[in-house]
Structure 1
Amino acid sequence: MKKMLLLIATTALLTSRSESALAQTADEVVEKHLAAIGGREALGKVTSRITSGSITLSTPGGDVSGTVESYAKAPNKSRALIKVDLSSFGAGQLVVDQRFDGTAGYILDSLNGNRDITGNQLDVMRAGFFPTPLLKYKESGAKMELTGKEKVGSRDVHVLQVTLAAGPTIKHFIDTEDYTLLKIVTTLNVPQLGGAIDQTVEFSDYREVDGIKIPHKTTASNPAQTFTITVTKVEHNTDIDDKSFSKPAAEK
């Protein structure tokens, strides 16, 4: 169970070449994606976001459910608070509070113990610029390559491979028709799970909120676990205290 819940808060993540995919540049695909989800101007006006919803975690013993609240603030602060009922496993309520203040990260974990965020997970969080890392990927020092086309289900996608200035490689799968982001695959080094693993996050049910298209369903999976988050509420430009992203004083 500990391994299955290890990456529960990090949702934040092959090539078939063809002439049609390679006819565009990586920058052109990125710009079409940004336009499809609202455009640079609308995205630039969003300084913070609070989302709330439900989470369903698949386990060998059956599905368990709970609630999730996430907070994001420009340029790259984030927090996820997850509560899952594990009473069917005799473990009571699991509470995971993952915080990142833009530089350092910390997890309050009622099951596995509190700990600092390190390694690849920290690298990914540092590069997770709000409202989307693709908005200013060049400024972050990341390198982008359009590697070709694949399919996600029945849909054709452009595959953008992003190499972070420090950290792992992340693949973005962007629909060739509506240019929404359908999937992200991040290769992470997780010693607790035996080394390198692929963390896959799939996005669906896009809805417009304040002029920006936001996926209201996210499914994340890796060799240890699968969970689905369904968003029920989104708030933009709400004042969020910077202290809420930091390691609690009692833990310092």
Structure 2
Amino acid sequence: MKTNKFLAAAFVAFVSVGAYAQTVDEIVDKHVAALGGKDKLNSVKSLIIERSLAVQGMEIPNKTILMVGKAARSESSVMGNTMVQVFDATSGWMIRPTMMGGTGEPEDMPAEMVKQQGGQLDPFGGLVNYKEKGNKVELIGSEKVDKKDAYHLKLTTKDGQIVDEYIDANSFMIVKVKVSAGGQDSEISFSDYKAVEGIPFANTMEMTSQMGALSFATTKVTINPPVDESIFKKPVK
């Protein structure tokens, strides 16, 4: 009798785990479809994203040039000074103006900073092709985000970084992300999605952390532009 009860309990547990995993994959599949589908996303090899950053009453223009999965270059203009950040999966360099504690000359990017920036090489997020990337996804439950139903997914990257992703239950677009980097917790909200060549990009991003609040407004997205890869090389003095 005990054996039968044990087998019954084991069967229920097995079925429950299977259904739970299927639910996670169903949510992820609908999210990928909402982004335009795997084929369309996989066809994107380069991006140029232009944004305006609002912080402490200033408007800072930013331009990011990305070779998907390979390297990224971000340029910002602050009070007439140019700040540059360039990185790939293993290393990076940057130029910081003196007003931001730099020298105005190219310098190596700290390893921890390279690690934190690495996710930007994957512009559509760790949920897309998550199994192939070695990531794990867990469904935490359903929650309200801005009074709307959302699925709370816990993404663990192959490097061990944990990202809490919140996906709108109707649009299946990401509406909020929580992540811890450098000992600081950050929360980013995404809204006002607009499609470029069939792929939706968030036009508004609001970031809050212990250091304060930032607001990003996307002004232009260019898909698969030609990119001169020499822009990623650190200048030699």
TM (normalized to structure 2)?
A: 0.81
Q: Give the drift of 1:129.
A: 4.4
- Mapped contact 2:167–2:176 kept (Cα < 8 A): yes
Answer yes or no: is 1:213 the counterpart of 2:213: no
Q: Which residue of 2 aligns with 1:53?
A: 51
Q: Which residue of 1 aligns with 2:129?
A: 136
2-structure distance, mates of 1:33, 1:105: 31
Q: Which residue of 2 aligns with 1:4?
A: none
Q: 1:127 to 1:233 in 2, by over 3 A?
A: closer
2-structure distance, mates of 1:56, 1:75: 28
Q: Give the number of equivalent residue pairs.
A: 212
- Mapped contact 2:89–2:114 kept (Cα < 8 A): no
> Where does the alignment leave 5 or more consecutive residues of structure 1 unmatched?
1-21, 86-92, 190-195
**Which shows bigger deviation, 213-222 or 128-137?**
128-137
- Mapped contact 1:127–1:164 kept (Cα < 8 A): no
216, 221, 227: which one pairs with 1:234? 221
Q: How does 1:137-176 map to 2 (within 5 A)?
A: 137-176=130-169
SS of the aligned residue for 1:136 comes to: coil
Q: 1:247 to 1:102 in 2, by over 3 A?
A: farther
2-structure distance, mates of 1:137, 1:125: 18
SS of the aligned residue for 1:135 comes to: coil
What one-letter code is carried by the residue in structure 1 that aligns with 2:45? T
2-structure distance, mates of 1:170, 1:180: 16
2-structure distance, mates of 1:94, 1:223: 26
**Aligned Cα RMSD in Å?**
2.2
2-structure distance, mates of 1:24, 1:94: 51
Q: Which residue of 2 aligns with 1:30?
A: 28
- Mapped contact 1:141–1:164 kept (Cα < 8 A): yes
Q: Give the drift of 1:115.
A: 4.5
Identical residues among aligned pairs (%): 29
1-structure distance, mates of 2:51, 2:85: 16
- Mapped contact 1:73–1:130 kept (Cα < 8 A): no
Answer yes or no: is 1:42 the counterpart of 2:35: no
Q: Give the drift of 1:249.
A: 3.0
Q: Which residue of 2 aligns with 1:109?
A: 96
SS of the aligned residue for 1:238 comes to: coil
Q: Which residue of 2 aligns with 1:179?
A: 172
What one-letter code is carried by the residue in structure 2 that aligns with 1:68? N
What one-letter code is carried by the residue in structure 1 that aligns with 2:25? D
What one-letter code is carried by the residue in structure 2 that aligns with 1:51? I
Q: Which residue of 2 aligns with 1:193?
A: none
Structure 1 runs (4+) greater than 4 angstroms displaced: none
Higher relative contact order (CA closer than 8 Å, sequence separation 6+): 1
What one-letter code is carried by the residue in structure 2 that aligns with 1:35? A
What one-letter code is carried by the residue in structure 2 that aligns with 1:84? V
Which has the larger share of helix? 2
Residues 59-96 of structure 1 show CA distances to partners (whole Å, capped at 9, x for unaligned) of xxxx11121111121224222211223xxxxxxx4532
Larger Rg: 2
Q: How does 1:188-227 map to 2 (within 5 A)?
A: 188-189=181-182, 196-227=183-214
Answer yes or no: is 1:95 the counterpart of 2:71: no
What one-letter code is carried by the residue in structure 2 that aligns with 1:158? Y
1-structure distance, mates of 2:163, 2:178: 6
> Where does the alignment leave 5 or more consecutive residues of structure 2 unmatched?
1-19
Q: Give the drift of 1:235.
A: 0.7
